[in-house]
A and B are shown apart, each in its own frame.
Chain A
Amino acid sequence: MSIVLQAVTKRFTSGGTPAVSGVSFEAPRGAITAVLGPSGAGKSTVLRIVAGLEDPDTGRVLIDGEDCASVPVQKRGVGLVFQHYALFRHMTVRENVAFGLSVRRVPRKEIAARVAQLLQLVQLEQLADRYPAQLSGGQRQRIAFARALAVRPRVLLLDEPFGALDAAVRRELREWLEQLHAGMGVTTLLVTHDQEEALELAEHVVLMFDGRIAQSGPPEEVYDHPASPAVASFLGGANLLTAPVFSGRADFNFGALAVAAPGWARDGELLQVFVRPHDLKLRRVRSVQHGLAVARVERLKRIGGYVRISLALPGGEMLTVESPRAEIDELGVAVGEPVQVDLRAARPFTENTTH
């Protein structure tokens, strides 16, 4: 039951900027695919188009190889879970879960059995006769999952499902969803702005900015090989450095670091490289060595188990470093003092982004 989008474009105002522009990707069967991006990137519109709640202006949606253009929402076999639960507030938990079956005129006995089975699956049998207002946010969302799954949807669509929950419940529900999914293997599309959620849950990530796909692939691949500075910054955060290319290489920070230019970078062009905050290693200032730059500590913030440090390079560029607290304490880094920073983890992007 894969989901395939082919060149999907959607405008809400004629002539305006499209909310979704030329989006193509495949959500493989049985996997969780995350559509990730900042708010306003068009992620939810993609989800609503797959659900059939919006019609694309151009392009096609295929569920399990079948073109969905003429299939109405009710017949698409999608289970939708909303950020704000959208439980039927005048119905009990049991009635909520049963709703999809009862509108299909499934026999009562069968409904009762299926509802019991699902409440057991989400571990909330004891709340069957409560109303949604009497449940916590996490419980409500689990009921919403049960309601969506009751009709045995072909695909599960999750629209920021944990967005309204506090951090601890969110983490708990994420693990719960992972187990639930492992047990059922229903093809799932997860829309989220939370990169951690996407990296943790998804086997496939589709990163969107401004209605377009910026990059897609397995989470590690997108994380390790970002196509552009925007991708690197959104996914994991990144320090960016820029230098001109000369005879096949770019020299950064007065020659402290040399990076071999990728094939597309010609002499005289600017090459941008990135390095993750946790990939930067600090050490005391010692001998000059390739890849090591001397920088001054501008700010230092201890955040639980790690320390975030802002460094100023001699050229004025700022670097953000994240290191385990023990490491920094042992090193004895202090604000205003110089420190040597290892830049050798810096890599160019996979696409030419300076144009």
Chain B
Amino acid sequence: MTFGEPLATLPSLRHSGVTEPAPVRWLLVSAAAAFLGLFVLVPLLAVFATALRAGLGRYAGAILHPDARSAIRLTLLTAAIVVPVNALFGIAAGWAIANFRFRGKRLLITFIDLPFSVSPVIAGLALVLIFGRQGWLGGWLDARQIRIVFAVPGVVLATAFVTVPYVAREVLAVVEAQGNDEETAALTLGAGGWQILSRITLPKMRWGLLYGIALCNARAMGEFGAVSVVSGHVRGETITLPLHAQILYDQYDAVGAFAVASLLALLALFTLVTKKYVESRSRPA
């Protein structure tokens, strides 16, 4: 009977939710572990192994090379501009979406996600179309000696476009889950806008904000596609860390390429640690 089966499995369902026999469970878990190991862990280890293959001296040499140092500087500069801007945007978007009814709210939420669905290369090409010498604003900018494409501003703009969603999404998730009752309560208790923002909303957002900033930072430093299109690869000027790694690799300098890449890999590990920390702190007591 079709009735008998579900009834028979009901008690075990209620207790653990797992009904598969042990060998099946074992197989599924090892498949997941093998997949992660093969596609995530092994490449990550390969980066460090290759970088250190020729010894620490060679590793340090690759990182301290003037071109590498210039790439590190540009990458840090880009992140230092893009991350605060996106953090402010994320706070503003989270604040507005949580507290106000306005026209186009859903549209705003959709547009925040747009950079996720647009290929970074397209984003870079779009910037070239607008700011490039043949672009819409090219003549105007040229006449004023302003260079955006194939210069640092282009790198910053491309990175900013690609990283727009990171902080805003994390903040929005927190804000939407918690609603705005606390803000309303603060308002009836006599608090003004800035008091509510600094004493209620920002503390409420803080873990989402921190994690969003970590993610945004990692992506800002690691972005390749969009930056590659607008950079123009001017040596010592518009080369970021990922571009530098690519250039070294193209010159058959695997050790140098991987040494530079290992810096980005360390950044990824740092981001993961931040994530774990934030998760442990933001879980309700």
**Which of A's residues lie within 8 Å of B, judged by CB?**
51, 53, 73-76, 78-80, 82, 84, 86-90, 99-100, 103-104, 131, 133-134, 144, 147-148, 151
Instruction: Check if B187 sits within 8 Å of A151, measured CB to CB.
Output: no
Which residues of chain B come closer than 8 Å to A74, judged between CB atoms? 187-188, 190-192
Instruction: Check if A104 sits within 8 Å of B190, measured CB to CB.
Output: yes
Instruction: Check if B189 sits within 8 Å of A151, measured CB to CB.
Output: yes
Instruction: Check if A86 sits within 8 Å of B285, measured CB to CB.
Output: no
Question: How many contacts between A and B, using CB within 8 angstroms?
Answer: 63
Which residues of chain B come closer than 8 Å to A84, judged between CB atoms? 181
Which residues of chain B come closer than 8 Å to A131, judged between CB atoms? 285
Instruction: Check if A133 sits within 8 Å of B192, measured CB to CB.
Output: no
Which residues of chain B come closer than 8 Å to A78, judged between CB atoms? 188
Cβ contact of A100, chosen from B181, B190, B192, cutoff 8 A: B190
Instruction: Check if B182 sits within 8 Å of A80, measured CB to CB.
Output: no
Cβ contact of B190, chosen from A87, A103, A144, cutoff 8 A: A103
Q: How many residues of B contact A (CB 8 A)?
A: 18
Given A74-B192, A103-B192, A53 and B181 contact (CB-CB distance below 8 Å):
no
Instruction: Check if B184 sits within 8 Å of A133, measured CB to CB.
Output: no
Asked if B30 lies at the interface with its beta carbon under 8 angstroms from chain A, I say no
Asked if B44 lies at the interface with its beta carbon under 8 angstroms from chain A, I say no
Asked if B195 lies at the interface with its beta carbon under 8 angstroms from chain A, I say yes
Which residues of chain B come closer than 8 Å to A89, judged between CB atoms? 182, 204, 284
A sample of 8 inter-chain contacts (CB < 8 A) reads: A74-B187, A75-B190, A82-B185, A86-B181, A87-B185, A99-B199, A103-B186, A144-B185
Report Cα–Cα, A151/B187, bound state, in Å: 12
Instruction: Check if A133 sits within 8 Å of B185, measured CB to CB.
Output: no
Instruction: With CB as the reference atom, state the residue of chain B lying closest to A78.
Output: B188
Report Cα–Cα, A229/B65, bound state, in Å: 87
Report Cα–Cα, A90/B204, bound state, in Å: 7
Instruction: Check if B190 sits within 8 Å of A86, measured CB to CB.
Output: no
Cβ contact of A82, chosen from B181, B187, B285, cutoff 8 A: B181
Cβ distance A132 to chain B, nearest Cβ, rounded Å = 9
Contacts A89-B182, A103-B192 given; 10 further ones with Cβ under 8 A? A51-B188, A53-B184, A53-B188, A80-B184, A82-B185, A84-B181, A87-B182, A90-B204, A103-B199, A148-B188
Report Cα–Cα, A82/B284, bound state, in Å: 20
Instruction: Check if A134 sits within 8 Å of B285, measured CB to CB.
Output: yes
